[in-house]
Amino acid sequence: MLLAWDNVSWSSKEVWSGDFSLSVSLQKVVDKSEWLFSGVYGPFTTAEKGLFWEELVKVRERCSHPWCIGGDFNKIKEVGERLGCNRVNNNMKGFSDFIAVNELVDLPLGGASFTWVRGQSRSRLDRFLISGKWLEFVPEVFQKALPHMVSDHCPILLDPRMESWGPSPFRFEIAWLESLQMEERLGGGGLLVIR
């Protein structure tokens, strides 16, 4: 694992290396604000999955700064994150519990539904999770899967500029049809077509 940052804008305060993560506490040179970043590569084996969550909890206990975790978690959080998956298992529950207990936000993913593709298998294994404090620090952040050229994993871009996550959903309330104002807009006998 490799973490890199612009040392003109940021200085590192502390670095922690674990079996599944590499974390750095960074301080912004200009305003001295601090945040924590953890890069992760989650384990494959069931026996090590509990150790993975314990390691990240210990990182969190060492530093209370706004936190961003990113990388290959090697697990999915819910049914729709793996092609053909139709039931929740203990690993998914453990992942969701870790996110909830640590008050992390799993941002929507733009650009693709899955971040890992091999043959007909597809899963969302890679992501960024951010703390509420980090979201206050960078309020309009989004993550986007980029095209993968060499690896079977998509690179994930965490960008502080808000970008559209797709078209806004169409919403329509039947009660609007009962409104006198709607009748006036339609000219008393207009035609409204909904597709």
Per-domain residue ranges of the chain: 10-168
- What is the DSSP track for 47-92? HHHHHHHHHHHHHHHH--S-EEEEEE-SS-SSGGGBTT--S--HHH
Distance of alpha carbon 74 from alpha carbon 46, whole angstroms: 11
pLDDT at 149 over 90: no
Fill in the amino acid letter for 5.
Answer: W
pLDDT, position 185: 53
Helix (H, G, I), strand (E, B) or coil at 176: helix
Cross-strand pairs, 145: 156
* Spatial distance between the Cα atoms of 21 and 154, rounded to a whole number of angstroms: 19
pLDDT tens readout for residues 72-124: 999 999 999 999 998 988 889 999 999 999 999 998 899 999 999 999 999 99
* Span 5-56, pLDDT tens digits: 888 988 998 999 999 999 999 999 988 989 999 999 999 888 898 899 999 9
Check residue 124 and give its pLDDT.
Answer: 94
Spatial CA neighbour of 34 closest among 64, 4, 3 = 64
- Band the pLDDT of 187: cuts 50, 70, 90: low
Count the alpha carbons within 13 Å of 12 in the hemisphere toward its beta carbon.
Answer: 13
CATH class label, 10-168: alpha beta
Is the pLDDT score of 189 beyond 70?
A: no
Taking the model in full, what pTM does it have? 0.78
